[in-house]
């Protein structure tokens, strides 16, 4: 009797898993835009994105925002696509655009050389961005 109950539970959970497995891949499938991956160094991921036509979205060009901490390091290296970095967990959000599509890339790390990608999503910044030289936001 116990084996029969166990078998039914296994079949039940296998069925539930099968139902949900057929949906769309998660936002962070194994490889993302331009082949970037979770855990990849930001410098490598950024180079790949730019090679594939993703342009950094210039953030805080006219809003008077003052960079601090990791944000200041990124801005000093001309990573103007940085939106914000947290003070307590060294997480940063950067934005890119290509052909009208937006990309948000989240990172983790306190120094640029140690920053890695933690996730990405098709998301645009909240406010309108200042267009860069190519007219891309």
- Per residue in 56-97, pLDDT tens? 999 998 898 888 889 999 999 999 999 999 988 889 999 999
6 vs 71 pLDDT, higher one: 71
Whether 3 is covered by a domain: the verdict is: no
Whether 127 is covered by a domain: the verdict is: no
Q: Under a CB-based contact definition with an 8 Å cutoff, are residues 36 and 117 in contact?
A: yes
Whether 13 is covered by a domain: the verdict is: no
3-state helix, strand, coil in the chain (%, to 5): 30, 20, 45
Instruction: Please report, for the chain, how many H helices and E strands are present, in that order.
Output: 3, 5
Whether 51 is covered by a domain: the verdict is: yes
Residue carrying structure tokens 């306190």: 110
- Element containing residue 59 per DSSP (H, E): none
Name the domain count of the chain: 1
130 has a pLDDT exceeding 70: no
pTM of the model: 0.69
Which pLDDT belongs to residue 132? 47
> Residues of the chain with pLDDT > 90: what percent?
54
Whether 134 is covered by a domain: the verdict is: no
Largest Cα–Cα separation, the chain = 72
Whether 107 is covered by a domain: the verdict is: yes
Whether 20 is covered by a domain: the verdict is: no
Owning domain of residue 74: 29-121
Distance of CA 3 to the CA centre of its chain: 46
11 vs 87 pLDDT, higher one: 87
- Give the separation between CA 130 and CA 99, rounded to whole angstroms: 16
């Amino acid at each position: 009797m116990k084996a029969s109950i166990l078998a039914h539970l296994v079949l039940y959970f296998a069925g539930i898993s099968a139902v949900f497995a057929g949906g769309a891949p998660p936002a962070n499938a194994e490889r993302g835009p331009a082949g970037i991956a979770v855990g990849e160094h930001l410098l490598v991921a950024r180079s790949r994105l730019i090679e594939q036509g993703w342009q950094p979205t210039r953030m805080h060009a006219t809003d008077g925002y003052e960079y601090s901490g990791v944000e200041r390091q990124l801005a000093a290296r001309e990573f103007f696509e940085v939106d914000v970095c947290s003070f307590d967990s060294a997480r940063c959000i950067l934005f890119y655009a290509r052909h009208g599509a937006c990309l948000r890339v989240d990172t983790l790390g306190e120094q640029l050389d140690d920053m890695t990608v933690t996730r990405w999503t098709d998301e645009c910044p909240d406010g309108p961005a200042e267009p860069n030289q190519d007219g891309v936001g």
